[in-house]
Structure formats: structure tokens, C-alpha cells
Amino acid sequence: MRKGPATVHLLGSAFVAILLIGSVPVRAAETARFINAPAPVAAQPPKLAAQFELKLVIHQGKGLARQLLDAGVDQADAADTARLAAGHLGDGTEDCFAKVSVVRVSANSSLSLVRVMLTTDSDQTVLERRDGQLAIASQVAMRKSPRLI
């Protein structure tokens, strides 16, 4: 069987096409670039947070830290509160009333102080957590007579 030039050209073109088709996946695999990208981080599971308000009576201006510790407040927060409250708990002859806001982040952690409002007959002092530290937020002298509007 004699092959004419058109048949040879057609067979040659088919051979080249088969070579090109066969080499495409190889060429694609050789030039593939992989980018090392960080995998997305799974969101943290939600934590149970609960805020409570405690009302304490500090007899003769003594025992604030002990009452906070007995209520379950963190030891460092109780010590900082007692240090800041020194001198703001009355003159030692009267009682001081404290309204304490605390938060518990998880079931196994201790209470963390958010705000403490100390009230005596003569003044009112507010301690608050600001930038992670407890600080005196305000101090106001109590008026002897009510203010009529």
C-alpha cells in the first residue's frame, strides 16, 4: 500500500497532535506552583460569662478584703481593692456599704472585679477596672441635706 503525501502529512499531524495532547498534563504538572497559605483558624468556642452584683456591709471600715475573698473574688483583685479603698471606708466609727460588680468568665474560674461603689455617710467612692487595672474612678462628697429641684 502506497501512501500519498496527503496521507503522510495527515499521519504526521496526528502524531504531533498526540504528542502535544500527551505532553500537556506533564507540562502543567511541572509548572504548577503551590502557595503555602495558613489554614483558617477555627473560631474559639463561646465562653459562659456571668455578671453578679454583691452588696456588702463593712463594719467600722474593716474587713473588705476578707469579705471579697469569702465571696469568691480573685485574691489579687481583693488585695488591690482593699489597697485602693484604704481611707475611703469611713472614719472607723461608722459602717461602709459596698456595691460590688463581679464577672465570672467560666465555671471553674474565680470572680473578677469590674466595679466597686463604696458609700459612707460622708462620701461615695467608685473603683473601676480600666485598661485591666483597678483604679479610683470618682470620689464625691455626700450632701447633708437633699437637693430639691
State the total domains in the chain.
Answer: 2
Model confidence pLDDT, tens digit, residues 42-73: 777 766 678 889 899 988 888 889 999 998 88
- Start-to-end CA distance of the chain, whole Å, equals 121
Q: Say yes or no: 69 and 127 in one domain.
A: yes
What residue spans of 32-118 are helical by DSSP H?
Answer: 64-71, 75-85
Q: Say yes or no: 66 and 125 in one domain.
A: yes
Residue 41 placed within a domain? no
pLDDT at position 88 is 78
Residue 19 placed within a domain? yes
Q: Which domain holds residue 85?
A: 50-141
Residue 23 placed within a domain? yes
Residue 116 is part of a domain; what is its CATH number? 3.10.450.350
Residue 39 placed within a domain? no
Confidence band for 107, pLDDT divided at 50, 70 and 90: low
